[in-house]
Structure 1
């Protein structure tokens, strides 16, 4: 593992365990076994480190979600695939996903919130696009795409938080239950 990877790995663990604001640069470099100039060489600042970490990890999530959200006329199936993509990603990237969920509730003026918010908005954009395409077939959805995107994201994240550190995220029954619950709400 090179220095850059060591820094990213240590920062992820520290930020996830204690929060971005509670972790200092000195603690990161001590944990990674490198010097401050090395961290600054790769990332410029602590905020630059967070930005790099979030961007690197979040790209994989957006790629998965975009593929799962490809609408082909079957909304329940698409929502099932999307829920499965979220659960799989959260299970495979527990530490990162836990950190991302926590950062949604940081104070709006904090550096962590400012860096994380655009990533949450990107997820909402992917979901909104799905609901916009589906609204052509499902007229009752017109004008509600953003509301559905935000509601779905909140619901799926609640399931992930409730089942964090459990293997139940991989259970087909839980995916079906979450999808079914959401579908009943939007088809009413």
Structure 2
């Protein structure tokens, strides 16, 4: 798959383990080294700030998207290639999606999960055909993947749609998956009901 930009979702907090920040920095550097634009939430704190700073330090282009009401809370990054300020969270996600060819979630909290699953849902609905992947650092996303499998087992997610989000233990594996991704969402996301 041809990539020009990658959207990253990640925590506005740094997490308790230093390897989270190290992975965010490594990811930002890799995006820059690949000549891609990093699209992210526009903040200068936590893993968001770390990934942006690393991409910028490596000579990369970084586009931030932040709603006006979060500019001060998340301390909007002042050194980006471009900062887009939106009126709402909904507009933020729409802008991030419009400017990205792929979506990657690093470790994070509620906001990261919400952004991730909106992109997975949009893929399921054929609103985009872009890859959605997780950097599954130290098994961070294992419980989430188990929850998806539970949703399949219990009949809430079609087995055909299992591949709409993939988990990868390291950055090399993740980038290989992004470049070879082929969208294969089922035409129907609801199971066929007999009768």
Q: What's the TM-score, normalizing by structure 1? A: 0.31
Which one has the largest radius of gyration? 1
Q: What's the TM-score, normalizing by structure 2? A: 0.30
